[in-house]
Chains A and B, each alone.
Chain A
């Protein structure tokens, strides 16, 4: 395994954090402020050339109930994986695994969190897939090293030149 300074710091924080997070209810307040984050670095700024082709990316933990497993949203450190979903999926085939938001609005009108019809109605092209992750996750090293590159690769394969992210 290639050493990684951020992963090392995170691994050092984890043992005590697990004890607090395993309590019922989890003691988020005692551990979250101390969770290591990557060293700050300047965020790149990309520009769009030509017509927009947008991938929608949601933190709702959305998944296709007919073909995909739910996220392990109740896991102590959350679930660092993602789901790739047909952009034309009927709304009734979607469920939301993220437990830290109220689902009622999204269940009654998907446009509240995944505005696919709204974007299309404005003449903007969407990619053939939506992508979701579940917003509560503490395994940032895995998310950064594995999940984010897979999300980006999917968007590239789908021809996206822009991404609309909707965290909840």
Chain B
């Protein structure tokens, strides 16, 4: 439901000329939004608590889409390993 309503919000922004990117955890609802980064972190889409390197990685991908995507783009970050090796 969250991802579907995020799509409604994204539509409002895009119609107003404000570019959007969604960072979420579900692929299917992202098929109809302009830009999205799909991650594997349920309850923490930007990355696990305390993993600042992963937060930067995911946010960087989202900002890249905002700056450079020319059309509908969904970036799959589900299998991205943490830039900081787990101890």
Interface of A toward B, CB cutoff 8 Å: 32, 37, 40, 43-48, 52, 54-55, 57, 59, 98, 100-106, 108-109, 111-113, 115, 118-119, 121-122, 124, 133, 135-137, 140, 143-144, 148-149, 151-152, 155-156, 160-168
**A40 — which chain B residues lie within 8 A by C-beta?**
32
**A155 — which chain B residues lie within 8 A by C-beta?**
13, 16, 18
Tell me whether B9 is interfacial, beta carbon within 8 Å: yes
Quote the shortest CB–CB distance from B50 to chain A (angstroms). Answer: 6
**A163 with B33: in contact, given A105-B49, A136-B2 (CB under 8 Å)?**
no
**B5 — which chain A residues lie within 8 A by C-beta?**
59, 133, 135, 137, 140, 143, 167
Let me know if A133 and B50 touch, CB within 8 A: no
Within 8 A of A (CB), among B48-87: 48-50, 52, 55-56, 58-60, 62-63, 66-67, 71-72
Let me know if A160 and B21 touch, CB within 8 A: no
Within 8 A of A (CB), among B1-40: 1-25, 32-34
